[in-house]
Amino acid sequence: MAAFKTLDDLGDVTGMVALVRVDLNLPMNGGSATDVTRVEAVKPTILELSERGAKVLLLAHFGRPGGKRSSMLSTSMVVGDVEEVLGKELMFIPEIAGPVVEQSIGILADGDIGLLDNTRFWPGEDTNDSSLAQAIAAHGDFFVNDAFSAAHRAHASTEGITHFLPSYAGRAMEAELKALDAALGNPEAPVAAVVGGAKVSSKLGVLENLVGRVQHLIIGGGMANTFLAARGVNVGKSLCEHDLTDTASRILDAADHAGCTVHLPYDVVVSKEFTANPPSLRTCNVHEVAEDEMILDIGASAVEALADVLKTCRTLVWNGPLGAFETEPFDAATVALARTAAALTSEGSLISVAGGGDTVAALAQAGVTNDVTYISTAGGAFLEWMEGKELPGVAALVASNV
């Protein structure tokens, strides 16, 4: 991975203004956050800069206001939640540039923390307007990006600002980039990837990139049915994108040429109805699925074979569940393989990196959240990284180090 600067490269920052891009786009209910994971993630960076004597100004977006102010989408909504996690008071500043920000900086003491308003209230944020980026940067001595989840956006507060200030990766960003580099950038081989989810169409770029990067590609979820159909298997009334079977065949051919083994289930859990613990539940060979049945999970024998594959690997990257994991008992395969991956990680034989909302929920359901090497909570940015795309927010940190 190309080099980027971190907080370790900063000297004495006492009295300096740190502009810190964070992700405070929290899920809300009744005026308070229902999940503060994103605040917990950026807490080490904020507190370190504060303890080192910098005046910390937080830049964040909240929702999609479309370049217009909205009281319901002001970052003032999350002040209380952020204060509770940090254990420190915040000054809310209802602008992102200009005299109000300048005056507020004058009031802040060394080590104090201010939260600027929603960056997306200004139309120039989404369009990466250089003049807006310069106006924001005018208030800071240096910039810290600790919002990997927004790194796939070339916005004024993620990419534009790096052209005007010395720029550094925060602790969460640093950990994320190191984990991702270990997973796909410069991994220990053999590498396995688990890709699940409902539709092939949503992960085409991921699959096309991975077949040339990993030695084992494990396909699960509804998308596995499309690949099974491409191989001539009758998948009954399972979720299946029959119009993409040619695409699936092309990916299978590309995997063959690249020396990547694609693992599809050979025994599956089927049912005539998609409900919890249905009476028509049974496990069968993939060639025995009836016309009125749907595949809802991978069978126990296939999971055992996949566990054996992981035992031969040194690195695992995981995105998406193997079955309809939200409904019992169709979480069994995902839970079983996640526990195998966690056990191999704990004993030191596997580096495991997972990401995506469903994946995070599935690993939590398996009770192994703390036993994998790294879990990325970034949705779109994680997927684009798996597709092999350059992330503007990350590229900007590298470019500013040149």
> For each of the chain's 402 residues, which pLDDT tens digit applies?
568 999 999 999 999 999 999 999 998 988 889 889 899 999 999 999 999 999 999 999 999 999 999 999 999 999 999 999 999 999 999 999 999 999 999 999 999 999 999 999 999 999 999 999 999 999 999 999 999 989 999 999 999 999 999 999 999 999 999 998 888 888 999 999 999 988 889 898 999 999 999 999 999 999 999 999 999 999 999 999 999 999 999 999 999 999 999 999 999 999 999 999 999 999 999 999 999 999 999 999 999 999 999 999 999 999 999 999 999 999 999 999 999 999 999 999 999 999 887 888 888 889 999 999 999 988 788 888 888 888 999 999 988 775
Outline where DSSP puts E strands in 220-288: 261-263, 267-271, 282-285
The closest alpha carbon to 384, from 150, 194, 158, 161, belongs to 150
Q: How many C-beta atoms surround the C-beta of residue 30 within 10 A?
A: 5
Q: What's the full length of the chain, in residues?
A: 402
φ, ψ of residue 274 to 5 degrees: the values are -100, 85
Encoded tokens for 399 = 């470019």
Three-class DSSP category at 285: strand
The CA distance from 399 to 402, in Å, is 5
pLDDT for 398: 87
pLDDT for 49: 98
- Torsion angle defined by CA atoms of residues 150, 155, 158 and 162, in that order, rounded to the nearest 10 degrees: 160
pTM: 0.88
The CA distance from 357 to 344, in Å, is 23
Catalytic residues: 38, 199, 357, 380
pLDDT for 2: 63
pLDDT for 356: 80
Q: Say if residues 52 and 20 touch (Cβ distance below 8 Å).
A: no
| 185 Cβ contact list (under 8 Å, min separation 6) | 1
pLDDT for 379: 79
| pLDDT single digits (tens) 335-387 | 999 999 999 999 999 999 998 878 888 888 899 999 999 999 887 888 888 88
Q: How many C-beta atoms surround the C-beta of residue 89 within 10 A?
A: 9
| 84 Cβ contact list (under 8 Å, min separation 6) | 36
pLDDT for 402: 56
